[in-house]
A and B are shown apart, each in its own frame.
Chain A
Amino acid sequence: MTVVPARTLLWISFISTPLLWLLHFLLAYLITEGSCSAAGENTGIFGASSLTLLYLLTFVFVLASVFFTFLAFRTSKQAQKTAPSYDDFLPKLGFTCGLLFSFVVLLEFIPLAILGAC
């Protein structure tokens, strides 16, 4: 018997990775805003250097994005089976969003590697 995906799951599969990216972006911005002066000095946050924090943050968010991308993929497969009573468009869209946004979060490693913090 196929299980109809819950409505919340459909929404989550669609919106999670864009939101994760946004959260990651804002956090990364706030870390540099709080720890770097315009002159390039680094005061760090909670004792850790901001570069370490940024690497860690990006790593965690890449993992989370990949997880939710996979979730969207699974949901879209599930929804496809139950179509047409349920629309599989949203999780399908969520899956493509997931690929794109995971990639974008991953990209944040490039400036970190080239420029270093501050």
Chain B
Amino acid sequence: MATIMMRVRQIAGIALYLGLANAQEASWRSPVNVLSRKGLVADQISTIWWFLFSTASLVFLVVITLLLIALFKKGQAVPKGPVQENSSVRPILYLGTGLTIIVLLITAVYTFISMRTLAAPSQKPALTFEIVGKQWWWDVRYEGESISANELHIPSGEPVHFSLHSDNVIHSFWLPDLAGKRDLIPGHPNSLWLQADEPGTYRGSCAEFCGVQHGKMNFTVIAEPRAAFETWLEHARAEANAAVSEEARVGQAIFMQQGCAGCHSIRGTAAQGEIGPELTHLSSRLTLAAANIPNTTGHLAAWIVDSQSIKPGNRMPSQKLSGEDLQFLLSYLMELN
């Protein structure tokens, strides 16, 4: 009996834990929608969509109705002998084509007008972030310095400018809730502007096939009021905390010796690797592995020792660490907030 109660408690505990985790996670793991009207650009594009959708529905209905009538009305077979093209039904042809032309012309004019409005924001963006696409994660830079990876805060209610680059293959930056996508092309710098109307957490992904882990190249954008954003930016640009606890100090040494530092950088330390994401404020981020798993100690541990089964083919080798060393390393990384 007691064992059963224990089991029940265990299950309840797990359920509670999962529930909590869900509440935490929900923010970055939530559905997105092109039509959600959460950003200025996306809002205008959804207006375009509803225009296109209603026109197309109308055309569809008209054509299908005509087709159905044509199919089921009484017709006649052509008699033997010389075949004449019949001109009595030509009006269907002229009317149909004429209407097609008019609908298409309106669509074209509407397209150009909306392109003109979307070309630039009415107010010049005060902020520019540089996004560099990597295989298969996102390097977030501000004034030439990497300040984050796969996660970025922006102020809400104002346009933000992105300059988009790649030094490897082509990627595409897409935040469905906020704006259309734009490609990151080596040798061809691009830019994009967008605006989050309300504070919130927005999920984005890479939309151009970029190799084996294209499917797991996501990111998170957190829009927050200007003041909160500025606090974040200042923090993000600051150097990493010094390791405080004893475990963390050992962990830092392991980080430097194990080769982690060869790929990752932690500002304010000797770690200056440029291959993987920078980790200066790792534990303050919501996710790991390019917005694919939540950033919890458990998931971080799993990622370090088994990154190749979580995201097969990614550039980070699964690490061979003793349980003890892993614990030290984790305490160090969790202190990087």
Contact = CB atoms under 8 A, between A and B. Distances in A.
Q: Do A and B truly interact?
A: yes
Interface of A: 38-40, 107, 110-111, 114-115
A104 B105 CA distance: 11
B115 interface: yes
Given A38-B190, A39-B191, A114-B116, 16 more contacts: A38-B188, A38-B191, A40-B119, A107-B105, A107-B108, A110-B108, A110-B109, A110-B112, A111-B108, A111-B112, A114-B109, A114-B112, A114-B113, A115-B112, A115-B115, A115-B116
A115 B105 CA distance: 16
Main secondary structure of the interface of B (DSSP, over half): helix
Nearest to B115: A115
A39 B182 CA distance: 13
Nearest to B120: A40
- Main SS of the interface on chain A? helix
A103 B94 CA distance: 16
A110 B115 CA distance: 13
A98 B116 CA distance: 31
B97 to A, nearest CB: 10
Contacts of B113: 114
A110 B109 CA distance: 7
B117 to A, nearest CB: 11
Contacts of A39: 191
Nearest to B108: A110
Contacts of B119: 40
B98 to A, nearest CB: 12
Nearest to A38: B190
Contacts of B109: 110, 114
Interface in B114-144: 115-116, 119
Contacts of B190: 38
10 contacts: A38-B188, A39-B191, A107-B105, A107-B108, A110-B109, A111-B108, A111-B112, A114-B112, A114-B116, A115-B116
The list of the 5 closest CB pairs from A to B, nearest first, reads A114-B112, A111-B112, A115-B112, A115-B116, A114-B113
Contacts of A114: 109, 112-113, 116
Contacts of A115: 112, 115-116
Contacts of A40: 119
Interface in B66-117: 105, 108-109, 112-113, 115-116
Contacts of A107: 105, 108
Contacts of B116: 114-115
